Amino acid sequence: MYQFDYHRPTSLDEAAQILSQDDEASLLAGGQTLLPTMKQRLAAPSQLVDLSGIAELKGVREDSGQIIVGAMTPHDTVANDKTVQAKIPGLAHLAGEIGDPQVRNRGTIGGSLANNDPASDYPGAVLGLGATVRTNKREIPADDFFLGLFETALDEGELIKEVAFPVPKKSAYAKFHNPASRYAIVGAFVASTEQGVRVAITGAGPCVFRVPEMEQALNSNWSADAIKDIKVAADDFNTDLHASADYRAHLVTVMAKRAVQAAG
Amino acid sequence: MPDTGAQRVLRKEDNRFLTGRGRYTDDFNRQGQAYGVFVRSEMAHAKIKSVDTSQAEQAPGVVAVFTGKDMEADGVGSLPCGWTVTDRHGNPHKAPPHWPLARDKVRYVGDQVAFVIAETDAQARDAAELVAVDYEPLDAVVETGKALNGPQVHEEAPDNLCFDWEIGDKQATDDAFAKADHVSKVELVNNRLVPNAIEPRAAIGEYDPGGDEYTLYSTSQNPHLLRLILCAFVLNLPEHKVRVVAPDVGGGFGSKIYCYAEETTCVWASKKLDGRPVKWVATRTEAFQADAHGRDHITTAEMALDKDGKFLGMRVDTIANLGAYLSNFSTAVPTYLYGTLLAGQYKTPAIHGNVKAVFTNTAPVDAYRGAGRPEATYVVERLVERCARDLNIDPAEIRRRNFVQPDEFPYQTPVALTYDSGQYELALDEALKMIDYRNFAQRRQESERRGKLRGIGFSAYIEACGIAPSQVVGALGAGVGLWESAQVRFNATGSISVFTGSHSHGQGHETTFAQMVADKFGTDYNNVDIVHGDTGRIPMGMGTYGSRSLAVGGSAILRACDKVVEKGKKIAAHMLEASVDDIEFDQGTFRVAGTDKQKSIGEIAFAAYVPHDFPQDVEPGLDETAFYDPANFTYPSGVHIAEVEIDPDTGETQIADWVAVDDFGRVINPMIVEGQVHGGIAQGVGQALLENTVYDPDSGQLVTGSYQDYTMPRADDLPSFRVGMTETPCPHNPVGAKGCGEAGAIAAPAALMNAITDALGTEDIQMPATREKVWRVAQQRLAPAAE
């Protein structure tokens, strides 16, 4: 690690202010990506702005029929929250599949979404449920939030405050994990909502994406069989030691089917 | 033969391990200690044109920066390889120098180039980035199969050939193939593994100018051997002035046997700094790059059979990748610990093995849990399974037809070893019963109904452990004897301190040895303390590897106990006013035969230190030392059967069941032994399904340099293992033990790959059988049906 200054503000405004005065400053949420990167000397922020002291960013609540998850809520809290388990079991299940117990007790939803790692799990749920990302400046619908590889709609100095999840009729997440890192090689989140079916795939490509063909098929017939022959193109998919692009493309169909089955 | 009771007592050492009170090398901090960081090569192969340390030397807190030139000027020697292998033409293996800090060239990514020492670890890391190395890149070769035709790694080794070695009778083997009714063949890759001990290596070198003495704290499996190599070969130090302390060590699996560059450099640097202690602790990245790796063979093997499935002859050709430099044992692993095991449990009358060992631009390869024996077992058991499939003979039956029978021991194999004992069919029968082999077909059908592919795989392994009989290994070319020492000291108040050369780094010696000694003297095992890991406290010993601790170290302890009893008898005879010949000893009591006159060993011990009325011919004290050199290797054996279920949609292999029936001879603590078996199988499963060390074939960069990419087995990758045992005591050591530490890792890969290839109906898949590989094979197999 290189040397840095450390701050632990107690309000969002204070955090935003420190951030606005230094281009080299970095927000610290759960630190599950940033800290290992700093330890390997691949990142060298001048200041770390630790968000763990801001009480309003933590916790899960129900509000106007939506489930609101604070940006600094650890995965383990979401996985074990009784309301989430009852209202959106697919989301609780997804949170419980992230990393390992240590990661789930440190890592946060806000950190995960802001980083937008192509293999992370949460983007699947946020896009798959059509959630809304609320920041210190505005509300961003999931369909507009994820822009590309490690790229989001967040502006410079913009902080995620919380995420609002509409409650679906049913939903589920099926994950094919990377055996080494436990990230998603392919993660399929399916949801049947008032506005129709949503299918979001994470891990396979450079950024989470929806599969309209599957959504249409499931809108008319909610069953695994309805999508068994729908293939996605492997063109821009990731290839690495653990899975080639065409294997991932194959797994998209397999995992989407399993998610539909799991949702019931 | 002692009655060891075979008790599942809890491990004494776990109290401190589980409460965070273990003391590992990094827990030691010495007065005035400075911190060292290595500058490592980022190139796989390059000439060093220059190393500019001037900027680093000016950085805050920097104490010194050393390079290979400094060590060269000081006359520092090469890290040695202790085993000589003589090639087919009678020449010794090529032994290019391995300097602790590179001098003219770097030969793998991670090779040490400079050592930066500063007041703090952070300052040393900052300064290390300022060392400017000017490289002239050279072409690199990292692939085992391409080494013989690749860019030359060492001038001393044309074609990158370290040695071209053979074992067995080639003519007899050729004759066997000439008369065979059938020949089966396999082509196998034994994938390279990173050992991944939970505690990375670490060292503190400390020179005391006052007494001209050196101390090295180090994560070592064998502190005495490390001291010997440091003194005699590398740093040329007086052995009596050097102390090596290996405190609690968090796992080794072989990787902490060796005298490495880093530990050596810390000792040397402390002298250069006039006694300032220098600490180095490896990062996990360094562990991936620079710990000695394991395995890395490519093999073609053939078996000649008659029409009844009897083995007539076996032919094995292997290329073994030794990496960029020879580590201490590296030449022995693919030869004496591999070629000699190619007979397996079978009476194959003629065997010929040829091993070409090659240099590549990769980390050095040396012994890793099993060391040569997993590679041999993998070849033999994959080939035997292939024979069974080719001839349509049941895989259990073909093994049965070829096993060495219990009445045929001692059995001289065609590849040098003499097996001492074994009951191979007994273990097979037990394993078949445990896994309910008769009903496998039903289970397979049931899996098929669910769209899954089920397979079953056998591995009947043998290993040569209890390393090692000095005379045998001396004849094979070992530079050292591999006996063990023990000192058993009764303290005046009756407690017992046992000093052993066997180092414990997870094996549970502090419990097993204490149980054995307590049993001998009829006391509680909490009254026995096991002292190890410090050359300043224990007699010269050989350390822990090759499943040797109980068989060799334990035997030395029993010998020392016997000497204590003999001495105790003299004291008892004096105290009981009887003749020594009339004194009997049993369970802690000395008794005059046929009388009720007796003294407890506690009374004897106390008297030994308060010898007010001892006669002249009885020395005070009750403290005896023994050295034990085994007469032969020990030969643990067993049968593992794995059953898998494959999901053809995803290529996922689920291990549905696993039974292991092992024969380790006499067992002291079954709980510890079962733990060793479980851990060994987990490593074998890791090799077969998950782990693989990948270097980029063009750049030579280590691609799997972290846990993001190198797949360690985790609890949810593994089933509940079912462990059974047969017990055929080792006939030639006083404990009767054979060793259990490596068996799981030796047996498991073949069992699992035999099960996977059985499920898939093809042999055409190499380790690790990753999900994508399995999926591709399954798709090909199912394709016609899908059309």
In this prediction, residue B784 has a pLDDT band, given cuts at 50, 70 and 90, of: low
Note the pLDDT tens digit of each residue in B317-369: 999 999 999 999 999 999 999 999 999 999 999 999 999 999 999 999 999 99
Note the pLDDT tens digit of each residue in A37-78: 999 999 999 999 999 999 999 999 999 999 999 999 999 999
Count the domains in chain B: 3
User: Is residue B204 classed as helix, strand or coil in its secondary structure?
Assistant: strand
Q: What is the pLDDT of residue B1?
A: 36
Mark yes or no for CB contact B772/A181 under 8 Å.
no
Mark yes or no for CB contact B690/A247 under 8 Å.
no
Cis peptide upstream of residue B406 (ω within 30 degrees of 0)? no
* Residue B567 sits in the same domain as residue B588: yes
Average pLDDT over residues B194-200: 97
Note the pLDDT tens digit of each residue in B136-180: 999 999 999 999 999 999 999 999 999 999 999 999 999 999 999
Helix (H) or strand (E) holding B267: helix B261-272
- Sequence-ordered list of residues with C-beta below 8 angstroms from that of A86, at least 6 positions apart, any chain: none
Q: How far apart are CA B392 and CA A223, in angstroms?
A: 44
Q: Which of B605, B628, B651 is the last residue of a domain?
A: B628
Q: Out of A41, A242, A254, whose CB is closest to B650? A: A254
Distance to chain B for A146, nearest Cα, Å: 24
* Residue B247 sits in the same domain as residue B103: yes
- Asked if B648 and B451 count as a contact pair (C-beta separation under 8 A), the reply is yes
Strand runs labelled E in B265-403: 278-281, 297-305, 311-323, 350-359
Q: Is A179 on the interface with B (CB under 8 A)?
A: yes
In this prediction, residue B6 has a pLDDT band, given cuts at 50, 70 and 90, of: low
Q: Out of B650, B709, B717, whose CB is closest to A241? A: B709
Which residues in chain B have their CB less than 8 angstroms from residue A97's CB? none
Average pLDDT over residues B269-292: 98
* Residue B447 sits in the same domain as residue B494: no
* Residue B131 sits in the same domain as residue B266: yes
Q: Is B709 on the interface with A (CB under 8 A)?
A: yes
Mark yes or no for CB contact A181/B707 under 8 Å.
yes
Q: In DSSP terms, which residues pair with B433 in a beta bridge?
A: none
Q: Is B125 on the interface with A (CB under 8 A)?
A: yes
Residue B653 within a domain: yes
DSSP H helical ranges for B392-528: 395-402, 424-435, 440-449, 470-476, 509-521
Distance to chain A for B755, nearest Cα, Å: 21
Q: Using H for helix, E for strand and C for coil, what is the string for B183-196?
A: EEEEEEEECCECCC
- Asked if B339 and B417 count as a contact pair (C-beta separation under 8 A), the reply is no
Q: How far apart are CA B238 and CA B232, in angstroms?
A: 8
A vs B: CB pairs below 8 A: 41
The reported pTM is 0.96
- What is the torsional sign of CA B572, B574, B575, B580? positive
Q: What is the pLDDT of residue B475?
A: 83
Residue B594 within a domain: yes
pLDDT of B21 > 60? The answer is yes
Distance to chain A for B70, nearest Cα, Å: 28
Q: How far apart are CA B243 and CA B226, in angstroms?
A: 10
In this prediction, residue B476 has a pLDDT band, given cuts at 50, 70 and 90, of: confident
Scan residues 721-780 of B and list those with Cβ closer than 8 Å to A: 770-772, 775-776
Distance to chain B for A179, nearest Cα, Å: 6
**In terms of pLDDT, which residue wins out, B781 or B50?**
B50
CATH of the domain at B212: 3.90.1170.50
Cis peptide upstream of residue B320 (ω within 30 degrees of 0)? no
Distance to chain B for A65, nearest Cα, Å: 37
For residue B594, give its domain range.
Answer: 484-628
Report the percentage of chain B scoring pLDDT > 70. 99
Distance to chain A for B691, nearest Cα, Å: 9
- Asked if B262 and B203 count as a contact pair (C-beta separation under 8 A), the reply is yes
Please determine, looking at this structure, whether the domain spanning A55-166 carries the CATH number 3.30.465.10: yes
Q: Is A42 on the interface with B (CB under 8 A)?
A: no
Q: Which of B628, B656, B674 is the last residue of a domain?
A: B628
pLDDT of B470 > 80? The answer is yes
Mark yes or no for CB contact A180/B772 under 8 Å.
no
Mark yes or no for CB contact B122/A181 under 8 Å.
no
Residue B716 within a domain: yes
Q: How far apart are CA B293 and CA B364, in angstroms?
A: 6
* Residue B642 sits in the same domain as residue B598: no
* Residue B705 sits in the same domain as residue B679: yes
Distance of CA B606 to the CA centre of its chain: 41
Q: How far apart are CA B603 and CA B182, in angstroms?
A: 71
Q: Out of A1, A181, A244, whose CB is closest to B772? A: A244
Which residues in chain A have their CB less than 8 angstroms from residue B685's CB? none
* Residue B426 sits in the same domain as residue B501: no
Residue-averaged pLDDT of chain B: 96
Residue B312 within a domain: no
Residue B695 within a domain: yes
Please determine, looking at this structure, whether the domain spanning A170-263 carries the CATH number 3.30.390.50: yes
DSSP state of B389: H
Mark yes or no for CB contact A254/B708 under 8 Å.
no
Q: Is B389 on the interface with A (CB under 8 A)?
A: no
CATH of the domain at B748: 3.30.365.10
* Residue B648 sits in the same domain as residue B593: no
User: Is residue B162 classed as helix, strand or coil in its secondary structure?
Assistant: strand
Architecture in CATH of A5-53:
2-Layer Sandwich (3.30)
Q: How far apart are CA A26 and CA A37, in angstroms?
A: 12
**What is the per-residue burial (b if ≥16 Cβ within 10 Å, else e) of B490-508?**
beeebbbbbbbbbbbbbbb
Average pLDDT over residues B530-555: 94
Mark yes or no for CB contact B126/A1 under 8 Å.
no
Q: Which of B290, B309, B343 is the last residue of a domain?
A: B290
* Residue B533 sits in the same domain as residue B591: yes
* Residue B115 sits in the same domain as residue B222: yes
**In terms of pLDDT, which residue wins out, B481 or A151?**
A151
Q: List chain A pLDDT tens, one digit each, 264 residues.
A: 899 999 999 999 999 999 999 999 999 999 999 999 999 999 999 999 999 999 999 999 999 999 999 999 999 999 999 999 999 999 999 999 999 999 999 999 999 999 999 999 999 999 999 999 999 999 999 999 999 999 999 999 899 999 999 999 999 999 999 999 999 999 999 999 999 999 999 999 999 999 999 999 999 999 999 999 999 999 999 999 999 999 999 999 999 999 999 999
- Domain ranges, ordered by start, for chain A: 5-53, 55-166, 170-263
The pair of structure tokens assigned to B520 is 């001998």
Residue B354 within a domain: no
Q: Which amino acid would we find at residue A224?
A: A
Residue B709 within a domain: yes
* Residue B622 sits in the same domain as residue B640: no
Average pLDDT over residues B63-69: 98
Which residues in chain B have their CB less than 8 angstroms from residue A2's CB? 126
User: Which has the closest alpha carbon to A133: A160, A98, A170?
Assistant: A160
* Residue B640 sits in the same domain as residue B615: no
Distance to chain B for A166, nearest Cα, Å: 32
Residue B185 within a domain: no
Q: What is the pLDDT of residue B472?
A: 85
